[in-house]
A and B are shown apart, each in its own frame.
Chain A
Amino acid sequence: MAKRSAAVVGLAEWKPERVWPRPMFSLEACAELAALALADAGVEKREVDGLCIGGIYESPLFGPSAAAEYLGIHANFAETVDLGGATSAGMLWRAAAAIEVGACETVLVLCPSIPPPRPDGAKRGKLDFPIYLGGDAWGSPQGAFEIPAGLVAATPSFAMVAQRYMARYGLREETLAKIAVDARYNAQFNPDAIFYGKPITLEDVMQSRRVADPLKLLEIVMPCFGGGALLVTTAERAARARHRPVFVAGFGEHLTHKSITYAPDLLDNPIRVAAERAFRMAGISHAAVDVVQPYDCFTITVLVTLENAGFCGKGEGERFVTERSLRWDGDFPLNTHGGQLGAGQAGTAGGLSHLTEAVRQLQGRAGARQLKKCDVAYANGTGGMMAEQVAVILQGA
C-alpha cells in the first residue's frame, strides 16, 4: 500500500542561467525560495517546523541552525543532506519520513545553487568549487590513488561506465546520442530550459567533440546556476492546500562507493536496490508509472538507470531507447522538462528539477508539455560517480 502520510504541496524553481544576474548569499537564496514555495502552496510560514538544506556557503558548519535563525523558523527537524546529485531526492524522503514518524509537520526543502555577491561590489558572481571537489583532502584515498591517475571531474568516470557497457552488451554511440536529442526536444516545450529554442539532431550530437570516450560534448550537462524548493507537509494539511497533493508514496536510497573504481559492479548500480525498495514500499508497478524522471548528468546515466530501476532488463537498454520515444508526447515520457541535459544542471537544484517537474505533471501545471494523464511519477537522483542514488515514487491524491 502506497504511503500517504506526507505530500508535496508547493514548489519554487528559478530559471537556470549560465551567468547569474542576481548574486545572493545562500541564506538570502533560502529565504527567497522559501517565500516562493510557501506562496505557491498557500501555506503560512508559521506552519513550517522542519528544514532540509544543502550546503550553506556562509555557514560551512552549523548550516541547519544558521538557516533556522535566518528564516525565523523554530524547527523540530533540521538537517544538511550531502548526497551530490541525489541530495534533493534524499531531502524529500527524509522530510516525508520525519513527517510520518511525527518528528515535525511541515518541511521546507531548499536547494539554492547561485553565486554570492562579490566583496568588491562587482555584479557578476561565480561559485568557487574546489578543483578536485575536495577529493584531495589529507588522507583522502581519492587524493592518493585517483587524482594522480588523472581521474578528476565526473565525465571520465561515467565514460568508463559507458565503455564497460559497450564491452559487456554492445552499444552504438547513436543510442546514447538519441537520449540527448529526445531530452533537447522536451526542452523546446520548457521556456525555462537553458536550451529552449535550441533543438539538436542526432548528427549534431555525433559530431560534437569527444570529451572522454565515448562521451561527447552534447551528451554532457551544461553547468549553470539556479535554485529550487519543495514544501512537504502532512496529508491532513495537504488536503487544505491550493494544489493537488503529491504523496511521497515510496522511496529508496542506496550507496556503496565514492569512486567508480570501487563500485561493486559498474553496470549493477545502486539505483537497482533503491528503486526496488521504492516500488516495493509504494506497492506500485512500473506499468502504473505515467512519467519517468531519472537523473541525467550524462546520456549513459539514463541508459543504465532505465535498466537498473527495472523499466527494462539488463542489456536491453539499447533496444528500449531505440524503440521507444522518450519525448513528453511519446510512448515513454521521460524527463519532460528536458532533463538536465536540456534544461541545465544548476547544482543540487539540477537534481531537484526532476522532482519539481514530476510534481508539476502530477498537479497539472506543466504547461505546453502537460501529460494528458499523470497520477504516478518515478524520479531519482544520482550523486557522485554513480555512487549515491535515491529513488522516489510520487502519487497524486
Chain B
Amino acid sequence: MNLLDYLLAHPREVLTLTLEHIWLAGISVGIAILVGLPLGVAIARRPALARAVLGVVNSIHVVPSLALFGFLFAVPWIGERAPRMAILALSLYALLPILRNVCAGILGVDHAVVDAGRGLGLTDGQLLRRVELPLALGVIVAGIRVAVVLAIGIATIAAAIGAGGLGELIFRGLAMVNNSLIFAGALPAALLALVADLSLGWMEGRLRERV
C-alpha cells in the first residue's frame, strides 16, 4: 500500500483539515502575540516582574500537551467547545517564546543607543516605538518563528479532544493501523511547519542585517 494513497484519494478532506490546522495555529499565535508583545515590553523594564512572569509561563511548558488539553475541560465557557480549548492551550504554549524574545530583544538593544535617545529627550513611548522595538524586531520575529512551529506541531494533538486539524487523520490512522492515513496528516503538517519556519527565518535574517 502506497503512503500517498489516502492523500491522493481524498484531497478535499486533507485540504479542509489543513485549513483548520492553519486556523488553529494562526489564531493561537495571534493571541500569543497580542498578549506577549505588551507583556514582554512591560517586564523588560521590571527585572523582578520578568523573573516571576517568565517562571509562570515557563511552567506551562512542563505540563504535557495532552494533559493541558484535558485540564481545560473544567474551565467555564472554554471547556464547552473543543476548538476554544485547543486555541487557549496553543496560545499558552506559544506565549513563552514570544514573551521571552520580546523581553530579550528590548534588553539587548545597545545601551549607548538607549542612553543617547533618553538623554536627547525622547519620551518612553517614543524611545520604545522609534528605537527599541525596531531594533528588537529581528529577535521578536525569531520568537514568533519558534511559536509558530511549536503551535503547528502541538495543534496535531488538539484532534485528541476533537478540535479538528490534521491530527484527526493521524489519530484515525493510529487507531486503524493505517500508515497511509497517518501520512496524509503528518506530511501536510510537516510541510506547514517547514514553510512557516523558512519564511519567518528569511524575514528574521532581513530584519537582523539592518542592525
A binds B: no
Interface of B with A (CB < 8 Å)? none
